[in-house]
């Protein structure tokens, strides 16, 4: 890469921005003239973001990575709603990693310092893939989630449009279901009476299994029309759920619909949650200022990074909106980043979705991966994000075109 103009005046300068797909995850590595590097990770569902990372890297050469905000101003306008904000966000992770290592401090110290010693997490990822969608199957699934050794206090289960139920339950909606590129979305349709009752029965079965010992959240869509969303929320009010997520918009939908969400939110006592697809603080403004939802859940690797997530959490707290961040799914580097930022969030914080390494060999190639005990993670003191690659172990998983990634 050739140096950009208007190089920063800092003591540390970016010399290269690299991206390799390890397993299925795009990994960002930023190099500096001081020999300090930083890493970031994008979830495996977005391997096509690698060229975008490399394109953005051209604008970063010569910048001082420890001036994180100034450096991000070079590229922030080149992201967008999920999935295109992931490249910008992962670069931001890597900048904070460098800044922390350069200062000899964990990232949470640079974000204002921790306000809690442990961060609560919830299990939305360690769940069994279901092939049948009966109430008994859902009850068995949460039974297994309850038995996980991490001791989760909250679990989240996909249901309705955010599950295979939409394919397996006959006449799930009235009319023809249209195929789309993303499995988690279908053309909006009106639920049949039978499918609405079936959803309620499945949720009741899960709650009967969990009791009041473990909180239950539901990932629901997108796909609901507003009247059905209101019907379902009201039908579930007696179960004291943690939240209903992404009923109207969500995964890979590039708009917010705050006015429609507000009508849903004010129609039920069940907390309504959305936000994982949203890029930048600007696009949370209408959701927060109108109290359109009770809980927001930005993904740090889609919103634009850690500082962006922290800003949104603090603004939400001023408006009585709670915060339950989305996980980076299959990312141990993303897990480390979530721990750092969530340590600093105000008391509207509930828990973040626990990401896991997939495949399991991720735990063999990364040192310092945070671990869960009794549903929470202790805040560490290692500099930067707190995780580093075991380079020799990781090299075996590089593709031939990325063999110089760690050089």
Q: Domain limits of the chain? A: 14-104+391-402, 109-388
> Would you state the pLDDT for residue 132?
87
Q: Give the rounded distance of the alpha carbon of 33 from its chain centre.
A: 32
Rg (CA), the chain: 21
Which residues does residue 154 pair with via DSSP β-bridges, in sequence order?
A: 215
Residue 46 half-sphere exposure toward CB, CA atoms < 13 A: 29
> Would you state the pLDDT for residue 393?
98
User: What is the rounded CA–CA span in Å between residue 150 and residue 366?
Assistant: 20
Residue 177 has pLDDT above 90, yes or no: no
For residues 195-208, average pLDDT: 98
Contact 241, 200 (CB under 8 A): no
User: What is the rounded CA–CA span in Å between residue 233 and residue 22?
Assistant: 41
> Would you state the pLDDT for residue 184?
52
Model confidence at 326, in pLDDT bands (50, 70, 90)? very high
> Would you state the pLDDT for residue 7?
47
> Would you state the pLDDT for residue 109?
98
Nearest to 164 by CA among 137, 190, 125: 137
> Would you state the pLDDT for residue 187?
66
Residue 2 has pLDDT above 50, yes or no: no
> Would you state the pLDDT for residue 127?
77
Burial zone of 153 (CB within 10 Å; 0-12 exposed, 13-18 middle, 19+ buried): middle
- In eight-state DSSP terms, residue 173 is B
> Would you state the pLDDT for residue 11?
84
> Would you state the pLDDT for residue 3?
41
Give per-residue pLDDT as tens, 22-59: 999 999 999 999 999 999 999 998 989 999 999 999 99
User: What is the rounded CA–CA span in Å between residue 325 and residue 297?
Assistant: 4
For residues 62-88, average pLDDT: 97
CATH placement of domain 14-104+391-402: 3.30.390.10
Residue 398 has pLDDT above 70, yes or no: yes
Residue 362 half-sphere exposure toward CB, CA atoms < 13 A: 24
User: What is the rounded CA–CA span in Å between residue 378 and residue 124?
Assistant: 19
User: What is the rounded CA–CA span in Å between residue 133 and residue 142?
Assistant: 13
> Would you state the pLDDT for residue 9?
52
Q: Give the rounded distance of the alpha carbon of 325 from its chain centre.
A: 6
Q: What tokens appear for 260 in the block?
A: 């429609």
Place of tokens 């697809």: 277
Nearest to 326 by CA among 346, 296, 348: 296
Residue 166 has pLDDT above 60, yes or no: yes
> Would you state the pLDDT for residue 175?
86
Q: Give rounded-to-5 percent helix, strand, coil for the chain.
A: 35, 15, 45
Q: What tokens appear for 171 in the block?
A: 């006449």
Architecture of domain 109-388: Alpha-Beta Barrel (3.20)
Percent share of the chain, pLDDT over 90: 88
> Would you state the pLDDT for residue 176?
79
Model confidence at 330, in pLDDT bands (50, 70, 90)? confident
Q: Say whether 300 sits in a helix, a strand or coil.
A: helix
What is the residue-averaged pLDDT of the chain?
Answer: 94
Give per-residue pLDDT as tens, 82-141: 999 999 999 999 999 999 999 999 999 999 999 999 999 999 988 777 878 999 999 999
Percent share of the chain, pLDDT over 70: 95
Model confidence at 186, in pLDDT bands (50, 70, 90)? low
User: What is the rounded CA–CA span in Å between residue 303 and residue 308?
Assistant: 7
Which residues does residue 8 pair with via DSSP β-bridges, in sequence order?
A: none
Contact 79, 279 (CB under 8 A): yes
For residues 221-249, average pLDDT: 97
For residues 308-330, average pLDDT: 96
Residue 182 has pLDDT above 90, yes or no: no
> Would you state the pLDDT for residue 180?
64
């Amino acid at each position: 890469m050739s140096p950009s103009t208007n190089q920063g005046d800092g003591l540390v300068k970016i010399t290269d921005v690299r991206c390799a797909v390890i397993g299925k995850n795009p990994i960002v590595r930023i190099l500096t003239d001081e020999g300090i590097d930083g890493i970031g990770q994008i979830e495996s569902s977005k391997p096509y973001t690698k060229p975008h990372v490399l394109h953005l890297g051209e604008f970063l050469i010569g910048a001082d990575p420890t001036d994180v905000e100034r450096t991000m101003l070079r590229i922030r306008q080149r992201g967008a709603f999920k999935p295109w904000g992931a490249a910008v966000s992962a670069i931001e992770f890597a900048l904070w990693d460098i800044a922390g290592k350069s200062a000899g401090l964990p990232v949470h110290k640079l974000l204002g310092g921790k306000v809690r010693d442990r961060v609560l997490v919830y299990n939305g990822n360690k769940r069994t893939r279901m092939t049948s969608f009966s109430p008994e199957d859902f009850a068995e699934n949460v039974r297994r989630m309850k038995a996980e050794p991490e001791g989760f206090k909250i679990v989240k289960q996909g249901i309705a449009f955010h599950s295979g139920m939409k394919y397996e339950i006959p006449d799930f909606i009235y009319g023809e279901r249209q195929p789309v590129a993303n499995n988690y979305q279908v053309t909006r349709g009106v639920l049949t009476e039978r499918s609405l009752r079936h959803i309620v029965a499945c949720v009741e079965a899960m709650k009967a299994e969990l009791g009041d010992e473990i909180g239950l959240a539901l990932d629901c869509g997108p796909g609901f029309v507003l009247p059905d969303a209101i019907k379902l929320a009201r039908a579930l009010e007696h179960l004291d759920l943690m939240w209903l997520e992404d009923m109207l918009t969500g995964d890979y939908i590039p708009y917010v619909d705050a006015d429609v969400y507000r009508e849903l939110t004010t129609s039920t006592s069940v907390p309504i949650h959305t936000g994982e697809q949203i890029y930048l603080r600007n696009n949370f403004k209408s959701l927060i200022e109108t109290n359109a939802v009770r809980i927001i859940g930005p993904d740090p690797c889609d919103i634009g990074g850690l500082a962006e997530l922290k800003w949104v959490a603090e603004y939400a707290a001023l408006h009585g909106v709670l915060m339950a961040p989305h996980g980076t799914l299959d990312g141990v580097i993303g897990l480390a980043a979530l721990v750092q930022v969530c340590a600093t969030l105000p008391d509207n914080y509930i828990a973040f979705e626990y990401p896991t390494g997939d495949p399991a060999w991720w735990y063999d190639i990364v040192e310092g991966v945070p671990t869960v005990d009794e549903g929470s993670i202790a805040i560490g003191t290692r500099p930067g994000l707190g995780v580093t690659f075991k380079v020799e172990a990781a090299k075996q998983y590089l593709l031939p075109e990325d063999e110089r990634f760690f050089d």
